Amino acid sequence: MFELNGKVAVVTGASSGLGKDAALAYAKEGVNVALLARRVEKIEEIAKEVESLGVKAIAIKCDVAKEEEVKVAIETIVNEFGRIDILLNNAGVTAHGGVDSLSEEEWNKVMDINVKGIYLVSKYVIPVMKEQNYGKVINISSVNAILGEKGGIFIRHAYNTSKAAVLGLTKAMGASYAQYGITVNAICPGLFESEMTERTLFTSQKFLEKYNTLCPASRPGKKGELNGTIFYFSSDASSYVTGQYIVVDGGISIV
């Protein structure tokens, strides 16, 4: 049920953090991987790591908020692999501040990458999956889709909004595309060390102490602890699950 060998996965935001980890984890399971990100030099290096694990990889420069780049990227992937079995919509950015301090430019950037990006990539991948009558779409949301933060630099209203929108889109897509053999689900990670968090949240010892005190697991997530949930939604183990989300947060959202 969890067999992934020989599948083709598209991973957006694959240049670092959870996207890079997922790409390498897929490769270890025998999945051929297409890596999409704006920083092509980084994904080219990751593609070499992926191929060293015995599968095929392709690195494509792509800003998921730009439709023409997305269109060309998906066409390139289909020409290279002939199909797309898995789409991991992972690309994401954040901006710190509340609605009383965020600039319109900051707000729009977060919405463009985190919400519009999923729409655009899915727009070109879903027709491929419909033709196959098979597909697995996994949208990366966040625990911040269901939780807010009271204090200081940790207020991120645009990010909260965008990640809640991902859950709404996941439900809508799940309902519409199940008839084509396509499941659409979301993952809400809690605090994991990544390029996005290591420059902000992980720089504050006060925040980490507070987080560890509140979190039932008493720590942030470790590298690789998201992969089991990704594999579940990527495999036929979740063939009758769609429009759902799983929170992977060490229990922080239940206290």
Q: What is the mean pLDDT of residues 190-209?
A: 75
Examine the pLDDT at 198 and tell me if it is beyond 70.
no
Examine the pLDDT at 185 and tell me if it is beyond 80.
yes
Instruction: Report residue 210's pLDDT band, with 50, 70 and 90 as the boundaries.
Output: confident
What's the chain's average pLDDT? 95
**Structure-token pair, residue 217:** 């697991």
Report how far residue 97's alpha carbon sits from residue 160's, in angstroms, rounded to the nearest whole number. Answer: 11
142: closest CA among 105, 89, 184, 182?
89
Q: pLDDT at position 150, please?
A: 84
Classify residue 88: in a domain, yes or no: yes
Q: pLDDT at position 199, please?
A: 64
The answer to whether the predicted template modeling score (pTM) of the entire model surpasses 0.85 is: yes
Model confidence pLDDT, tens digit, residues 115-168: 999 999 999 999 999 999 999 999 999 999 999 988 776 799 999 999 999 999
Instruction: Provide, rounded to the nearest whole percent, the portion of the chain with pLDDT above 90.
Output: 89
**Structure-token pair, residue 140:** 């990366």
Q: Which of 26, 124, 159, 177 is catalytic?
A: 159
Classify residue 225: in a domain, yes or no: yes
Instruction: Report residue 49's pLDDT band, with 50, 70 and 90 as the boundaries.
Output: very high
Residue 189: helix, strand or coil by DSSP? strand
Q: How many domains in the chain?
A: 1
159 is catalytic: yes
Q: What is the mean pLDDT of residues 92-106?
A: 96
Give Cα 166 to chain centroid, integer Å.
Answer: 10
CATH code of residue 104: 3.40.50.720
The backbone region for 115, taken as left when phi is positive above 0, alpha when psi lies in -120 to 50, beta otherwise, is alpha
Q: What is the mean pLDDT of residues 208-224?
A: 92
Classify residue 65: in a domain, yes or no: yes
Classify residue 228: in a domain, yes or no: yes
Classify residue 80: in a domain, yes or no: yes
Domain that holds residue 70: 8-254
Instruction: Report residue 44's pLDDT band, with 50, 70 and 90 as the boundaries.
Output: very high
Give the CA-trace dihedral at 40, 42, 46, 47, to 10 degrees.
20
Lowest mean pLDDT among 91-100, 110-119, 173-182, 198-207: 198-207
Classify residue 2: in a domain, yes or no: no
Q: What is the mean pLDDT of residues 18-40?
A: 97
Classify residue 50: in a domain, yes or no: yes
Classify residue 3: in a domain, yes or no: no
Examine the pLDDT at 197 and tell me if it is beyond 80.
no
